[in-house]
Structure 1
Amino acid sequence: MSFLRRLFRRKKPAPLVCSVTLDDHGNPIGDDPSHVHTSACFVDFEPLALVELFQSQGCVSCLPAVPTIQKAVTEQPNRLLLTYNVTLFDHLGWKDTFASGGPAGAVGDQRQRAYVKKWGRNTLFTPQVVVNGLTDTSGARGADDINEAVNHARAGLRLPFHVYLDANDTEVRIDSDAPVPGASLPTAAPDTTTDAAPITAPVALPAPAPTLPLYNIMVATFRAGDQTVKIGKGPNKGKKLPHRNAIDTITKIGQWQGGDLTVALPVPKSSWGHGIEGVAFLQEGAGGPIIAAAKI
């Protein structure tokens, strides 16, 4: 029961209604074009936190810290760990086997540098834990650091709209009450209760809805579970470093700026291969905040 309470923790009472159109047989129409989302459509469950760990096999600090970081992230059901290996310490004599010579390594270097640039920093470090693209920590204090980073990330994300992301074997779907670009805000109906001649006045045009930032729809695939590498050279020679949910690929499959949207996956999940899992997420540009995530 405690697991269910954590998984479905509500931060405020659930909404009461969300209307949909029924067909002639009384069944709800799945994609009703006339349906307009309101806040009543979105139950405010605790969202999935995307936790990105940047590590290196040549990093001395990673050996004691990584296992405690992994435990602190994966012991909570509403957190997902993604591990990126980077080439930051390859010059010390051992080229990271996950980061060097393959696309996954380039992804790790690019994403870590994107965050550093976005935050206006000029230094890199490992291990580095980034939560929802908003906060980071070294994870040196284990669960205390991770819990603090997750709480800060959730507190720091205040959106003027609701957004729900879902994914299945073939597609990613976004439902939101955020207005689509160019939409107009509703205006009051004219007063027809008097026979008096109308007063001539300038016509007030509907105000355009605020423009949202452009969010990238991203899909990351990773090798679920643990892989351990014995390091052959450098300062960590002879020691082992665990890799959990090591990133395989990251692909941008579209963009979103409001309204409802469904985007097909590049290939169905059923064709990914044994041991490959995935997550879809919405991120505001390179190194920007991640506002929604869902396991595929």
Structure 2
Amino acid sequence: MTIRPLLGPVLGIVTLALLALPAGADTSQTRPKAVVELFTSQGCASCPPADALLTSLASKGDIVALAYHVDYWDYVGWEDTFGDPTYSDRQRAYAKGWGSTRIYTPQMVVNGAEGVVGSRRDEVHDALDGVSLPLDVTITQSGDMLKIDVPANRALGNAVIWMVSYLDRADVAVEKGENAGKSMVYTQVVTGRQALGMWEASTGANLKLPLPAVLNDGSTGIAILVQKERNGLPGPILGAATFER
């Protein structure tokens, strides 16, 4: 699976050592119950209801919502302004991990474990009913640094720590394709992904990231995801947290 560079040389600054938090640092965060990843496209006529539903889910305090714009609808005549082949590859990797070759839009993936049609509100809410993330992840700002803490939990097994940057809102006038002539509002638009390192279940991890480098591409927020891998394919998401400028 191809990983799109997000921070480049900043990885050399990431610290996996234990970090002392300054007095007065605010670490109060609510553990989200779910990460919802929407695979969508500006060229897909059936996607706007799913885009709107993701916006609604993002307003809930217990859901991390992310919109991956795929590129395989570009052939209809409109090149998605946020489309990226690596996001299409991520969707394919999920499908392969579930023993399928079929991908489609709009699709929502819940906690890396289940895919549902993203425009079917009842199915989405059914998929979210009773779910939870077993691992606490906290993000604390200290000056121009972000400190990320992922505690140990031997019962869960090792996983990968990902950073996903996103744009909270974008207004797009679609000129061609199935949504031609429409002015669309998109939220939680993924702008990049990068693996930061491994989370070892026996020791946990603490990371330190320079904020100016994290949000230097016009993005307004980041999500930290701790996700298992199975034979190089994405597996269940164990924990998540977000930070917005």
* TM > 0.5 fold call: yes
**What are the equivalent positions in structure 2 for 1:181-196 lying under 5 Å apart?**
none
Letter of the 1:66 partner, please give it: D
Indicate the SS of the match to 1:280: strand
Partner of 1:149: 127
Q: Give yes or no for the alignment of 1:294 onto 2:237.
A: no
Note closer, same or farther for the CA distance 1:94–1:80 as it changes in structure 2 (3 Å cut): same
For 2:223, the equivalent position in structure 1 comes to 279
8 A contact 1:94–1:231 mirrored in 2: yes
Q: 1:246 to 1:177 in 2, by over 3 A?
A: closer
Equivalent residue of 1:289, what SS?
strand
Q: CA deviation at 1:231?
A: 1.2
Q: Residue 186 of structure 2: SS of its match in structure 1?
A: strand
SS at the partner of 1:163? coil
TM-score, length-scaled by structure 1:
0.63
Number of residue pairs matched by the alignment: 208
Q: How does 1:69-88 map to 2 (within 5 A)?
A: 69-71=54-56, 73-88=57-72
**TM-score by structure 2 length?**
0.75
Secondary structure of the residue aligned to 1:259 is coil
* Counterpart Cα distance in 2 of 1:67 and 1:295: 20
**Do the aligned partners of residues 213 and 258 (structure 1) sit closer, same or farther apart at CA in structure 2, a change above 3 Å counting?**
closer
Matched AA of 1:167: I
Partner Cα separation in structure 2 for residue 57 and residue 111 of structure 1: 18
What aligned pairs does 1:82-231 form with structure 2 within 5 A after superposition?
Answer: 82-99=66-83, 105-142=84-121, 144-151=122-129, 153-154=131-132, 163-169=135-141, 170-178=146-154, 213-224=157-168, 226-231=169-174
SS in 1 for 2:235: coil
Where does residue 245 of structure 1 map in the other structure? 188
Equivalents in 1 of 2:226, 2:214: separation in Å? 23
Are the structure 2 counterparts of residues 74 and 177 from structure 1 closer, same or farther at C-alpha, using a change threshold of 3 Å? closer
Q: Quick one: distance in 1 between partners of 2:72 and 2:175?
A: 17
Amino acid of the structure 2 residue aligned with 1:258: A
**Contact in 2 for aligned 1:253/1:263 (Cα 8 Å):** no
SS at match of 2:137: strand
Gap regions ≥5 residues in structure 2: 1-18, 21-29
The answer (yes or no) to whether the contact 2:40–2:67 under 8 Å persists in 1 is yes
Are the aligned partners of 1:220 and 1:278 in contact in 2 as well (CA < 8 Å)?
yes
Partner of 1:258: 201
Specify the SS of the correspondent of 1:288.
Answer: strand
Structure-2 separation of matches of 1:126 and 1:174: 33
Identity of aligned residues (%): 28
Counterpart AA for 1:149:
A
Deviations 1:62-83 (A, max 9, x none): 1333213422x12421012111
Which structure has the larger Rg? Answer: 1
Structure 1 residues 222-250: Cα deviation after superposition (integer angstroms, max 9, x where no partner): 112x2121111122211233210111111
Between 1 and 2, higher relative CO (CA 8 Å, sep ≥ 6) is seen in 2
> Which protein has the bigger strand share?
2
